[in-house]
A and B are shown apart, each in its own frame.
Chain A
């Protein structure tokens, strides 16, 4: 632990930006608002970079934590929770990504939002989001993390419903908020259980360092499960509750439904919140509490399974969507699934690696989509695009690079990170006792990768290649976006292309070109005899490459040449038609939730209102009121105003008092 008193600047700057634009924004000029909003994350990035340089001075493999305790925050009984920040390797990686990608997106937004009516509100929310996200990441205790966690949820809600004049946007914001509440409930229960165990152990602290040290010791403790019977480990229960929170925030099955709807927001928000940063906070939380999760193999298996299934499930939906942002939304859910798969196989470093590369290419993809929308006057339907390459070369090329990255083309960032996850899964299958599960998950992961390459190339082909399908009128207005938008695109595309070289696979780099792996230094189980399995790793690599390239090529062929054949297939053959329908309608999950969750709660609450509230509670309250009214009327009439009756009242009182006292004395 090294004290460092500059950490607080990182979250403080965006807060300052929020206050300036939020309080004074109405009176500021458009350019000033944008300048303030962009300057703050850039300064934060610079501070984070200076911290990173300090880390490298100590040597990258040296396991350090910088810490800054601001003020005591909550002191109740034996527990004291400070308002404190802690920065270790994991944190600084996240912080650099958030402030770096965040700054680029802010710059992009100054161009994208140039025609908006109230930019000060938009940028105030964006900066507030940056503040909350940085608090979430930098927090040195789980309670402060929860503050940031709720803060980002709030900002997400505010920004999804940013164009609130449209009721659909407001509804999407509400859906995101309510779905996240379900997850947050689990997270909060997990925190409370941690708190109970920590105080019970005599170490009343909620700092991550202490939690990671103490909680794994509770692995042998089990709780009886009432009603169902059986028992559950204390640590497993904590991990599952925390994972419910992570699944809500990071859009995993079954709580992913809010993310596609949330595409109503301005596109920079999609790129910042719902691709690069906020949705990854669930992954970050698990990585932060890695030792706790390591203590519960059962919970890890659940995490891995949910992650892999989500990866495939979302990818199959993305294949048939026509809304360009919906495709990217399902793609995000799918990629987050990969990250959870990595967490579940205890490959925490690989998961964070994918988180970072995903931030590069997915932010780039969203911003490209935004650039397309900007040119097409808000059009989202890919069926009405096509041939845009001619008008928007920069957007096309950057998008193509990012697409190759996400599809896993060799040497692009996504190839290295995704392949690392798949390989770790396979390795786990080969080494652990319950190998079958992980072999199956590996297969699911591969299949999802095939779908990923397919739908991403479908997107690029439909949007940029082929014949233009938009109206003549629209074609006249087509233009490349301004440089404030294209420069961030190029930077992100560059990172998407080369970002993978931070961590080369073991068989290629032989452990030498993997500084990011060393840097993260999250305790992972040592790979048993990695060299013996070099052959397997090579095979896995080759398989991924072949599938990625094959699926990309197939997609290209299908959507440039054989569209009519595919459409015929989707409409005639019984099996393919059914599959097409399932995918297009997103497996009717929203409808199922509506029928089995939302409607019962809705009608249940109406019943509670009409019976419990109106009849019982209001009835009791009114009854009390009526009784008092009667009493009041009776007693009021005793106050006649006649002095004689008053005197009699007093006299009766005197007699009763005397009678009682004399009886007492004589007793």
Chain B
């Protein structure tokens, strides 16, 4: 027993989160309804403790736990930090909001914490079985969260759709794991690369995994659930889904693809991701153009961001499949670091934007149609300014974090292309993807700035009584916009942390 406790110690961040989840659940059951305002603070405290525990293990190298089922390394810790930040922001933004929509219960806090714990575990999994289990802890919590606002019909619809399609895609993931086990007789992610298994079976398993993870991160054509679920779910939950689920999904995707299928294996998977990334960027950006609902527009924009991040994965694949080109290996860590930086910048701008949306326009609906945003600069100038910062950052305009993030990703692709050309390989896939990415991001400027235009150049509509937002919401909006500016002006420190995080995957 003592041995077990000692071994579990490095897992303390996750365990603290689960403990907090149970505590919130119990507190919710045994406390009176009037005292429910205290519940978010349980969540906030839990996250704070977990964060401290997590920082404790940063920079200590990798730790294997539970017979190799879990590996605590810089990558897992980096993603876990993003998840905890997202969770904290969601708690803060929910103060007041949850009550207004009638879900200020212990379950809400508890489910958010369970989901976060599952995601952290997912980011640390070194075994496909652990990975699948933690993915399910996350998914089931999120299905329930999406349907949190029971009185809203749209919310129920969203939860149900998300659940059915989620189950559908999880089947593919599980099938993929089964095929890989069949081919290699192992579920250890780090062992798969060394096994000379049945190649067709292994590659079919790879394809199934791509589908399963692609669903979670919202990559086309597996993105179909995203618009309906994002639009229907309560704004705070949508923000959490958009950021944390995506971060966790990318964590699993990157770990499995880069560690289980490294080097020349990449020749199989990078063309698939190339096509997926292209389709994702195009569909996300083009469909977003004519959305009248800002939440739905942000859903499509989230899909587009997935596409940009996938450019990094394609660059890594192209670089990995040409291991004999000198200097190519040195490019890989900055590219992966750029992807992780992108996730961080995306966290702040997306959560900030959804926090603004959760400011009520009407009694209990979100601030979500373009008309709701009319003249926001006159009604709430500071909030409008912050929203403009988030949107312009998403469009990739300096001096905000979104610009730097896009810059790192596009630069990675162009560096790889330059290295290929320098060694005489005349293939232009990396360059083409970067150029198409830039073109599609030009489309995005239109729909982001349209919201800004509504906020600043339209008169406010009369029938929009506003509710005073809570301090937590104000703090979130303020802190996120500051973070976006800091990431845009002083990116190098954050980028070096992200690169450290990426060292666990590619050196």
Chain A interface (Cβ within 8 Å of chain B)? Answer: 625, 628-629, 631-633, 635-636, 639, 641, 643, 646-647, 649-650, 652-654, 657-658, 660-662, 664-666
Contacts and interface: CB of A to CB of B under 8 A. Distances in A.
Contacts of A632: 286-290
B204 A646 contact: no
Interface stretch (B107-115, B222-230, B400-408): B222-230
Given A628-B289, A643-B164, 18 more contacts: A628-B443, A629-B289, A632-B290, A636-B290, A643-B161, A646-B165, A646-B225, A649-B224, A650-B221, A650-B224, A653-B211, A653-B214, A654-B172, A654-B208, A661-B207, A662-B200, A662-B204, A664-B203
Interface residues of B, number: 37
Contacts of B288: 632
Nearest to B210: A657
Interface in B195-224: 199-200, 203-204, 206-208, 210-211, 214-215, 220-222, 224
Nearest to B162: A643
A635 B224 contact: no
A641 B221 CA distance: 15
Contact of B222 (A639, A653, A664): A653
Nearest to A636: B287
A657 B211 contact: yes
B290 A641 contact: no
B168 A647 contact: yes
Contacts of B225: 646
A635 B284 CA distance: 10
Contact of A665 (B203, B210, B283, B291): B203
A661 B203 CA distance: 7
B169 interface: yes
29 contacts: A628-B443, A628-B446, A629-B289, A632-B287, A632-B288, A635-B286, A636-B287, A646-B161, A647-B164, A647-B168, A649-B221, A649-B224, A650-B211, A650-B224, A653-B211, A653-B214, A654-B208, A657-B207, A657-B272, A660-B272, A661-B203, A661-B204, A661-B206, A662-B200, A662-B203, A664-B203, A664-B267, A664-B268, A665-B203
A471 B230 CA distance: 86
B378 to A, nearest CB: 29
A658 B206 CA distance: 9
Interface in B350-385: none
Contacts, number: 80
B398 interface: no
Contacts of B161: 643, 646
Contacts of B289: 628-629, 632
A653 B221 contact: yes
Contacts of A652: 221
A433 to B, nearest CB: 59
A653 B272 CA distance: 11
Contacts of A658: 204, 207-208
A635 B161 CA distance: 20
A647 to B, nearest CB: 6
Contacts of B227: 639
Nearest to A635: B287
Contact of B268 (A625, A636, A643, A661): A661
B327 interface: no
A662 to B, nearest CB: 7
Contact of A666 (B164, B200, B283, B286): B200
Contacts of A650: 165, 168-169, 211, 215, 221-222, 224
Contacts of A625: 446
A665 B200 contact: yes
A654 B224 CA distance: 13
B64 to A, nearest CB: 31
B165 A643 contact: yes
A318 to B, nearest CB: 56
Interface in B280-315: 283, 286-291
Contacts of A649: 221, 224
Contacts of A643: 161, 164-165
A205 B446 CA distance: 46
B225 to A, nearest CB: 7
A649 B443 CA distance: 24
A660 B271 contact: yes
A657 B168 CA distance: 17
A650 B220 CA distance: 9
A646 B224 contact: yes
Contacts of A629: 289-290
A632 B168 CA distance: 27
Contacts of B203: 661-662, 664-665
A130 to B, nearest CB: 37
Interface string B173-205: 000000000000000000000000001100110
B178 to A, nearest CB: 15
Interface string B4-25: 0000000000000000000000
A650 B167 CA distance: 12
A643 B166 CA distance: 11
> Sorted from nearest, which 5 A-B pairs have the closest CB atoms?
A653-B221, A646-B224, A632-B289, A632-B290, A661-B207
A512 B40 CA distance: 96
B168 A654 contact: no
Nearest to A659: B207
Contact of A647 (B165, B206, B210, B290): B165
Interface in B128-179: 161, 164-165, 168-169, 172
Contacts of A633: 290
Nearest to B206: A661
A661 B267 CA distance: 10
A639 B268 CA distance: 30
Interface in B257-279: 267-268, 271-272
A7 B267 CA distance: 68
A641 B228 CA distance: 7
B198 to A, nearest CB: 10
Nearest to B160: A643
A215 to B, nearest CB: 39
A157 to B, nearest CB: 33
Nearest to A637: B287
B422 to A, nearest CB: 24
Contacts of A631: 286
B204 A639 contact: no
Nearest to B168: A647
B206 A639 contact: no
Contacts of B215: 650
A643 to B, nearest CB: 5
Interface in B44-83: none
Nearest to A646: B224
A382 to B, nearest CB: 57
Nearest to B219: A653
Contacts of A653: 211, 214, 220-222
B320 to A, nearest CB: 16
A629 B443 CA distance: 10
Contacts of A660: 271-272
Contacts of B207: 654, 657-658, 661
A399 B364 CA distance: 85
A106 to B, nearest CB: 43
Given A629-B289, A632-B287, A661 B272 contact: yes
Interface in B232-270: 267-268
B235 to A, nearest CB: 20
A664 B264 CA distance: 13
Nearest to B165: A646
Nearest to B198: A665
A661 B266 CA distance: 12
Contacts of A641: 228
Contacts of B204: 658, 661-662
B168 to A, nearest CB: 6
A654 B179 CA distance: 15
B24 to A, nearest CB: 32
Contacts of A636: 287, 290-291
A662 B225 CA distance: 27
